[in-house]
Amino acid sequence: MKVNSFFTLALLLVALVSCEAQKKGSDSKVNITSLKPPTGKAIAAFAEGCFWCSEHIFEAVVGIDSAVSGYAGGTTKNPTYELVNTETTGHAETVLVYYDPKVISYEELTQVFFTSHDPTTKDRQGPDHGSSYRSILFYLTAEEKAIAEKSLESFEKSGLYKNPIVSEIKKLTEFYRAEGYHQDFIEHNPNQSYVRGVSIPRFELFKRTYKGNLK
């Protein structure tokens, strides 16, 4: 079964409120984080729809120390969730991944990216729609850009998706940490309706599709 078909079936079977509707209710300030990783570690960033799901997925992969939910790819300084949700800031919900490059490579992270969401739906993931849910492969160096382009081309030819991939490849210049209640959301809210209806099925599909090592 192609990944697209699974997502469509899952969404038809479950009546859900959208991710943005579940995220209301916080006035937390958002601060920009340093893009300098700890000694011996590296960072990478990916936007692939609801960051609750993405954070949970990336943190399950061997070699990844942690993932932080936030916003990247836009032009507005110090965005809040409420502002990003207006779809006027240019930001996408993004996870900043801290990883050990001796254990997992940036190239392998792109494999996680392409197997953990549907990269063929423009400005949409499942029930969530708008530019803040678009698919973006961020890079920090020219080498990473080349890797991202090669990975996209490889998945385009793989036959995994029946429609063309629309993921952007974009340089990461800054990242804004999301409000505290978004961090480790699935861990703290395992029975929340969106988590049970969308996030967990997406995670289970990823585990069946991804060929790398999971914790």
Give me the catalytic one of 3, 44, 50, 186: 50
Q: Taken in order 118, 121, 127, 133, is the CA torsion positive or negative?
A: positive
- Percentage of the residues of the chain whose pLDDT score is greater than 90: 81
The pLDDT of residue 79 is above 50:
yes
Contacts (Cβ under 8 Å, ≥6 apart) of 25: none
Q: Would you kindly state where each structural domain of the chain is located, as residue ranges?
A: 3-209
Q: Tally Cβ neighbours within 10 Å of residue 171.
A: 12
Per-residue pLDDT of 135-151, as tens digits, reads 999 999 999 999 999 99
Mean pLDDT over 90-113 rounds to 98
Give the separation between CA 165 and CA 10, rounded to whole angstroms.
21
Is residue 50 part of the annotated active site? The answer reads yes
pLDDT in tens, 19-60: 554 554 444 445 666 678 889 999 999 999 999 999 999 999
Beta-bridge partners for 47: 136
**Mean pLDDT for the chain overall:** 89
3-209 adopts what CATH topology?
Peptide Methionine Sulfoxide Reductase; Chain A (3.30.1060)
**pLDDT score of 22:** 52
CA distance 180 to 12: 31
- The pLDDT of residue 36: 82
The pLDDT score that the predictor gives to residue 15 is 34
pLDDT tens sequence across 124-183: 999 999 999 999 999 999 999 999 999 999 999 999 999 999 999 999 999 999 999 999
